[in-house]
Amino acid sequence: MSPFMIVLAFCAGFFLIFAINYALADVADAHRHRYRMRLEQELRRRQKELAQASVADRDLQMATAAGMASMMPRRTLKERLRDFLTESGIAMRPDQLLVACGALGLLAFMPFALVGPHWWLGALLGLAASPLPLAYVAFVRKQRRQKILDQLPDAFELMSRTLRAGQTMSQALQTVADEGPSPISEEFGFCYEQQNLGLTPEAAMQDLSLRTGLLELKIFVMAVMIHRQTGGNMAELLDKLGRVIRDRAKIRGSIKALTAEGAMQAYILMALPPGMLAIMLTINRPYAILLFHHYWLLVAAGVSMFLGWLWMRKIVNFDF
């Protein structure tokens, strides 16, 4: 074949592969778009169902009449666990969480109780494993709250632009629900659906602050309530709230950087006792195994380490 025919064949093959890839990419994009639309419809449907359930809940009306969460009466353990799970975004009931804690503790205890006389080791392991579901929910809750906090300034700016365009506060909430990222879009969309189903704006806003538990959202809700009574420039207020949240984030980052050394020292001190025990079990096992014959020493050491961890955590973590 001549060089011209070789180049022509190469170009034809290249453009054929490019056309096939372009067509497949277009089909994949269309499929992803349909899938995303179905997910958004399903999310809206679930938000409406949850909003209907919240509107029918009498405790929500009581919370609204009571004002801020600090003014509410003392809550039961079930209510605190329910709020704990709500803030984490995990679809689980408080009784299911408690069952998971008990089941995990029992699962860790049973092997030691069945195969050997050292049942106390199983009891210690069961006590240590039982709070793991609570720790996981607390971790997810912390991550979700931090994500909402990071998204709040942009959400307030979007609401401010919507209000300056002549829209209402409800439409501003809908704009954040439609265009904002998750999870803040879910929370604002939930608040918007509650108002559509007949809940008063004050009750829906109050429920928004209670669901997230963030101080910044409580300030936002209070500002909206005052604005509805006295009037004023709501768009400018939202801009100022966004700047305040960004300034608080900068201060929080500075505090985290300044206390990083203390936190690292706490981690090292917490890791030293079990690390030294593991080394002793490796180097001189008969000498180290004597400690397990006096299990009350291990219990006392564990309790002391836990109290020390709480103390050091209180030193390096504080609110402002």
- Buried b / exposed e across 72-86, counting CB within 10 Å, b at 16+? eeeeeeeeebbbbbb
Q: What is the pLDDT of residues 61-86, one digit of tens each?
A: 444 444 444 444 456 777 788 888 88
Q: Which is more confident, 21 or 284? A: 284
- 130 phi and psi, to 5 degrees? -60, -40
pLDDT value at 28 more than 80:
no
pLDDT at 69: 44
Token pair for 273: 């006792």
- Rounded CA-CA distance 293/295 in Å is 6
Decide if pLDDT at 180 tops 50: yes
Q: Which pLDDT belongs to residue 44?
A: 63
CA dist., res. 268 & res. 266, Å (int) = 5
Binning pLDDT at 50, 70 and 90, where does residue 177 land? Answer: confident
SS3 sequence of the chain: CCHHHHHHHHHHHHHHHHHHHHHHHHHHHHHHHHHHHHHHHHHHHHHHHHHHHHHCCHHHHHHHHHCCHHHCCCCCHHHHHHHHHHHHCCCCCHHHHHHHHHHHHHHHHHHHHHHCCCHHHHHHHHHHHCCHHHHHHHHHHHHHHHHHHHHHHHHHHHHHHHHHCCCCHHHHHHHHHHHCCCCHHHHHHHHHHHHHCCCCHHHHHHHHHHHHCCHHHHHHHHHHHHHHHHCCCHHHHHHHHHHHHHHHHHHHHHHHHHCHHHHHHHHHHHHHHHHHHHHHHHHCHHHHHHHHHCHHHHHHHHHHHHHHHHHHHHHHCCCC
Ordered by start, the domain boundaries in the chain are 18-92+131-257, 259-320
Total residues belonging to the chain:
320
Supply the pLDDT for residue 215: 85
pLDDT of 35 higher than 80: no
Residue 125 CB partners (closer than 8 Å, separation 6+) = 108, 109, 112
pTM for the predicted model, two decimal places: 0.67
- Cβ partners under 8 Å of residue 4, min gap 6: none
Question: What pLDDT digit, counting tens, does each position of 245-254 carry?
Answer: 888 888 888 8
Chain segment 105-114, per-residue pLDDT in tens: 888 888 776 7
Q: Which two tokens stand for residue 76?
A: 């039961």
CB atoms within 10 A of CB 103: 13
CA distance 273 to 135: 22
Q: What angle do CA 236, 238, 83 make, to 5 degrees?
A: 160
pLDDT in the model for residue 70: 43
pLDDT at 10: 67
Q: What is the mean pLDDT of residues 229-242?
A: 85
* pLDDT tens figures, 255-283: 888 888 878 887 888 888 888 888 988 88
Average pLDDT, the chain: 79
Q: How many CB atoms lie within 10 A of CB 117?
A: 8
What is the reported pLDDT for 193?
A: 83
How would residue 52 be classed by pLDDT, with cut points 50, 70 and 90? Answer: low
Q: Is the pLDDT of residue 17 over 70?
A: yes
How confident is the model over 201-212, as a mean pLDDT?
83
Q: How sure is the predictor about 139, in pLDDT bands with cuts at 50, 70 and 90?
A: very high
Centre a 10 Å sphere on the Cβ of residue 294 and count the other Cβ atoms it contains: 10
Using the predicted structure, report yes or no on whether residue 19 has a pLDDT greater than 80.
no
Average pLDDT over residues 174-193: 86
Amino acid at 190: F
The answer to whether 131 touches 101, Cβ cutoff 8 Å, is yes
Answer with the residue of higher pLDDT: 64 or 292. Answer: 292
Q: Which two tokens stand for residue 181?
A: 């990222």
pLDDT for position 286: 86
**Which residues make Cβ contacts (< 8 Å) with residue 158, sequence separation at least 6?**
172, 175, 176, 179, 180
